[in-house]
C-alpha cells in the first residue's frame, strides 16, 4: 500500500493473470481492486455485500439471476454497475476487459456460494499489486 497517487494504467501493466484481482488501495475497510478478465467467470453469490464494478477498458457483461428470468447487463468502458448482495452473477468478457471493483476487504472473488470454479478463475480475496 502506498501513500502516493496510483496510475491505474501503469498498475495494469504489472500483472497478466486473468480473473485474479489486485488490491491497489483501501478505503476504510473496503478494497479497491483491479483485474484483467477474458472469457467467463463462475456463477457465484456474495451473501453479505454488494459488489461495485467500473469498466476501465473493453466491455464487461454480467449475467444476473435477480429476476424470474436470467438477464445480462452490458457495461462498456466507463460504465459502473452494482450487483446487490444475494444476487447470483457471472461476469464475462468475450473480447477481454480491465475492471475495477470496490468491496469490503476479505470479500472472496467467488463469493460465499459458487458453482465449480473453472481453471481460469482465481478464487482469492485479492493479491497485493
- Contact positions toward Ni ion, by CB under 5 A? 51
- What is the SS3 assignment for 12? helix
> Closer CB to Ni ion, residue 31 or residue 51?
51
Nearer to Ni ion, 9 or 85 (CB): 85
Smallest gap from residue 4 Cβ to Ni ion (A)? 29
- For the record, the C-alpha cell of 47 comes out as 451473501
In the complex, least distance from residue 89 CB atom to Ni ion, rounded to whole angstroms:
6
DSSP letter for 59, please.
-
To Ni ion, the closest distance from the beta carbon of 51 in angstroms equals 5
The closest residue (CB) to Ni ion is 51
Amino acid at each position: 500500500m502506498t501513500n502516493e497517487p496510483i496510475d491505474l494504467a501503469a498498475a495494469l501493466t504489472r500483472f497478466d493473470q486473468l480473473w485474479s484481482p489486485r488490491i491497489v488501495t483501501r478505503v476504510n475497510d473496503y478494497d479497491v481492486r483491479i483485474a484483467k478478465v477474458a472469457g467467463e467467470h463462475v456463477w457465484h453469490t456474495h451473501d453479505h455485500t454488494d459488489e461495485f464494478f467500473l469498466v476501465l477498458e473493453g466491455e464487461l457483461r454480467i449475467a444476473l439471476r435477480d429476476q424470474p428470468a436470467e438477464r445480462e447487463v452490458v457495461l462498456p468502458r466507463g460504465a459502473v454497475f452494482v450487483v446487490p448482495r444475494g444476487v447470483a452473477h457471472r461476469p464475462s468478457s468475450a473480447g477481454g476487459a480491465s475492471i475495477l471493483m470496490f468491496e469490503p476487504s476479505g470479500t472472496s472473488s467467488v463469493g460465499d456460494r459458487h458453482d465449480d470454479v473453472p481453471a481460469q478463475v482465481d478464487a482469492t480475496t485479492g493479491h497485493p499489486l
